[in-house]
Structure 1
């Protein structure tokens, strides 16, 4: 079959809503997939096939566009475009050379749902060379909150407005802290693989503030968001449509419209008051081949022609400038005017945010070491509460909020608690969400901390315990996660049983600390007259930190810093 002209390949593609009439794209798909209009017998030789990897949501209208483009000649040779729906995350990692997609053809062009994936694609040497140019946006779709129609009416009657600030500390409570069955939950698609899931993180970054306080706000919000993730946008729609629970979801406008078009559920969009993140669908050429690149560029120009752009607006996308087509009907809750956009961070900062999230997903391995020597019986100034009781309450509160995937264990220490050893294992290190004999690790830790009491007749065997804890975490070191020993004490070394001396501890730590397998030591010291100089010498060996406080109730400072350190350090952090 010879190459047809573009108009012949276009067929009778009038203005029809892609979402309201999904069979239009089904026909186009069968045409494109079957090779109808292929040019293997054309005088100029076989058609050149251009592979375009596209975000799944935009694949249907682009297949119709590819069918219309079929037969276009570039340098005298006809071009056939094959649309390959693929995850932007997987394409970016493949282009960067960090992963392989077996069976997936290398693309000549790429249309991710956001430019945010381009820096990831360029992060490897192969990607830096392949991602030659990024053309302007082809379409846009703002990220919206998705509610059931009944929930939206209830919120409106109560004067409630959608706000990203509700995801900041003190906003929507962690679901584990709520007991009422009707407490709203928030669900987002996994940010590591979904730009829609990254949207809340980018919005929160703009609202978190600056400096250490802003970084802690952002890290705390990220920690809470980790408990709200679901697999993908389909799971978001399913969760919001669950009539048994009040649920708020996050999705793109276009995916919501597509979901409603197939009659799945009655859901409505709500636009956040501060503005939102917008998916922008850039056209990216990613081939080294000059001829393939020219053909890919020709298809990119074709996609910007008015008639082709109508395919996208009819499918529920907006123009790059944010103008809505007729598919985004106000009667369905959509706002025709361009929604306010949140100012996105620059490319390096966006990469740091993604890296923070990936480290959050990996978790951490912590050994908490709690002082139970007699001095912990002393009351907190101005109260009748002992230091150990006040500290225990703070630790329990922190444990309640720790994600299931973080591994934590508990030691108690004084002197000679286990034979000649100054420490004893109260709870071995396990993932917080693990269950042993019907009891979760979280509950086991909280119970052990609550039962901790000062032990009469003992002393503070601090140095031997620090070294033993360091060796325990080092021996079971987990690559790629934050490995740390956290010591809570109110005293100084006072072991009368030939305990380790400071210079011996420092020398041993220097010999055993491995920068390739770093284990940090963090010390929370509570009391009025503690000499922190020896403690500072200890933590300096491992890149740790000493926190000095007169009040054990300020232990939350340590937990906040641990959270930040688990996610980023120094220039790796997206907030400074």
Structure 2
């Protein structure tokens, strides 16, 4: 959700603005006559801070008598939050985005989508929307990510505006004995928050010592000051210039340059300083995405509209909205915050986490950041179940010939460090006939990590493969019953099971019996989510999916066991919010 501190222009575009525009195949500058016939309906959803500029440019085109090959184009420009359109696109393409949730019943995917960041396109592609291949994707605007701080706080705590600052400086200030009151807009739903999260966690990872502990500490420091909506976070900055108000208010948050400029345009009692920290975070880049499935005539109209949005005139319209052109330059009337880098300059040569050496986005880094955030900032109750059948002795060449079991335990151990003490976690292993004729063994019962962490660490250290087969069905049914039996409200109750094989228990229940039992147990008032992580090339994804289609949750399969750490975190992060 973008800031509510906007002028009348943004309010006017809050409802769809329909304008008739037309132009030439060879660019709007080669416009023909003012007459046209017919109509091509082109729908455009643009992020709120950009929508007025797009709508104004299209409206001017109409006034100039534009036409495309004699055919009129009607363009509907709608101000739409990026997360809402992302949810609709995800629903249409079968993707699941951590923290985004379901699309509203009225959400409709447009022909052209201009979100605030390319990270939305990447997250969709990397989280299930394999057929999602939007056209164009070029940036039409830019807004750097800054750390917004009340000017008195920036001056007294960090030496602004005279001192050149880094994300490591901010990390120290957030983690000090007298920490800054840091905040963030939920980074799973906000591109500026995600960019700030990537930069701060990169600084924590490079801080020396226990990098994971430093990263987790940074995540939790931010989590205490997170807001679901951007305007809610902005409202927490000091609204009075007395020292007590400043001391108790929000002290720092990752926002866009445009957000800070829009906020300061309201003449608040305490203006915000925009800190341009090094290395420079991913900016908001406003990609022009023509969504898949658009018919050819609309695609042609979209290409002409894109040309219109790359002119000097549009750059000046961007300036009126406190936005830069894609190259970092700005148009007439742009009033840069104090300390802003010169147009197109001031960018670090070292890309932050999430940005590749060529400026491209790193989907793995982004997924890790989103997953780590989701785990570190939520609370749940989970039973971890690890396959210890004989095939888990198989060596993994890409992991220095460690066994599948060792790679799995290492991934679970790393993940354990991300969970805070509010989580309740238990540990089982399974094969066949582990305890007499029973296929599973309880290593550690489900209890709060505040008292259970050391037992879990020790229990993981004693996980060893057996010589048995894979008693999947009996184990899954009993694990489900165990979690459901002591179900806790207000938390996500789940089973997370690792396996490298198919069910091979001749004396156990059948697949049909398992699925019928799970259907009978399923209770929408006491749901248990099941996440199954299949390892290697011997698993049956269809078999595993038959289980999670009944229980809810998800199935993740990788032939490369070294990837299960990232898959584990991603799987936990994708769980829905707990019912209340």
- The TM tier, using the shorter chain, reads 0.5 to 0.7
Counterpart residue number, 1:186: 182
Q: Aligned partners of 1:565 and 1:64: how far apart in 2?
A: 45
- The CA deviation at 1:312 is 0.5
Normalising by structure 2, report the TM-score: 0.57
Q: Aligned partners of 1:118 and 1:484: how far apart in 2?
A: 30
Moved more, 355-364 or 150-159: 355-364
Q: In structure 2, do the counterparts of structure 1 residues 480 and 216 end up closer, same or farther at CA, with 3 Å as the change threshold? A: farther
Q: Aligned partners of 2:533 and 2:224: how far apart in 1?
A: 26
Instruction: Give SS of 2:326's match.
Output: coil
> Which has the larger Rg?
1
Q: Aligned partners of 2:208 and 2:251: how far apart in 1?
A: 33
Counterpart residue number, 2:118: 115
Q: Does 1:50 align with 2:42?
A: yes
Q: Aligned partners of 2:367 and 2:88: how far apart in 1?
A: 20
What are the residue-to-residue correspondences of 1:84-483 with 2, within 5 Å? 84-96=78-90, 97-98=93-94, 100-123=103-126, 128=131, 131-134=134-137, 136-157=138-159, 162-165=165-168, 172-173=174-175, 183-204=179-200, 206-207=202-203, 208=205, 218=215, 221-241=218-238, 243=246, 244-245=248-249, 247-264=251-268, 265-286=270-291, 287-325=293-331, 327-329=333-335, 332-337=338-343, 338-341=345-348, 343=351, 344-345=355-356, 346-353=361-368, 356-357=371-372, 359-360=374-375, 363-366=379-382, 403=420, 406-408=423-425, 429=447, 445=450, 474-477=480-483, 483=496
Structure 1 residue runs without a partner (length 5+):
1-18, 369-397, 411-422, 430-440, 451-468, 486-506, 521-561
Q: Deviations over 1:536-575 (max 9, x none)?
A: xxxxxxxxxxxxxxxxxxxxxxxxxx99896259xx9xxx
Residue pair 1:364, 1:566 contacting (<8 A) in 2 also = no
Instruction: Give SS of 1:183's match.
Output: coil
Q: In structure 2, do the counterparts of structure 1 residues 219 and 481 end up closer, same or farther at CA, with 3 Å as the change threshold? A: farther
Counterpart residue number, 1:65: 57
- The CA deviation at 1:117 is 1.4
- The CA deviation at 1:246 is 5.5
- The CA deviation at 1:139 is 1.3
Residue pair 1:69, 1:299 contacting (<8 A) in 2 also = no
Q: In structure 2, do the counterparts of structure 1 residues 483 and 263 end up closer, same or farther at CA, with 3 Å as the change threshold? A: same
- The CA deviation at 1:141 is 0.6
Instruction: Give SS of 2:249's match.
Output: coil
Residue pair 2:88, 2:107 contacting (<8 A) in 1 also = no
Instruction: Give SS of 2:55's match.
Output: helix
- The CA deviation at 1:67 is 1.5
- The CA deviation at 1:254 is 0.6
Q: In structure 2, do the counterparts of structure 1 residues 172 and 22 end up closer, same or farther at CA, with 3 Å as the change threshold? A: closer
Q: Aligned partners of 2:421 and 2:43: how far apart in 1?
A: 41
Q: Deviations over 1:187-244 (max 9, x none)?
A: 1111111110111233246543599976676556445544442113223322233622
Counterpart residue number, 2:69: 75
Number of matched pairs:
412
Q: In structure 2, do the counterparts of structure 1 residues 288 and 347 end up closer, same or farther at CA, with 3 Å as the change threshold? A: farther
Q: Aligned partners of 1:204 and 1:33: how far apart in 2?
A: 39
Instruction: Give SS of 1:321's match.
Output: coil
Q: Aligned partners of 2:8 and 2:210: how far apart in 1?
A: 53
Residue pair 2:186, 2:229 contacting (<8 A) in 1 also = yes
- The CA deviation at 1:68 is 1.5
Residue pair 2:480, 2:495 contacting (<8 A) in 1 also = no
Q: Aligned partners of 1:20 and 1:245: how far apart in 2?
A: 18
Q: In structure 2, do the counterparts of structure 1 residues 474 and 318 end up closer, same or farther at CA, with 3 Å as the change threshold? A: same
- The CA deviation at 1:35 is 5.6
Q: Aligned partners of 2:84 and 2:250: how far apart in 1?
A: 33
Residue pair 2:142, 2:326 contacting (<8 A) in 1 also = yes
- The CA deviation at 1:116 is 1.5
- The CA deviation at 1:102 is 2.7
Residue pair 2:44, 2:111 contacting (<8 A) in 1 also = yes
Normalising by structure 1, report the TM-score: 0.57
Counterpart residue number, 1:5: none
Q: Aligned partners of 1:21 and 1:234: how far apart in 2?
A: 11
Residue pair 1:330, 1:336 contacting (<8 A) in 2 also = no
Instruction: Give SS of 2:254's match.
Output: strand
Q: Aligned partners of 1:367 and 1:483: how far apart in 2?
A: 6
Q: In structure 2, do the counterparts of structure 1 residues 519 and 205 end up closer, same or farther at CA, with 3 Å as the change threshold? A: same
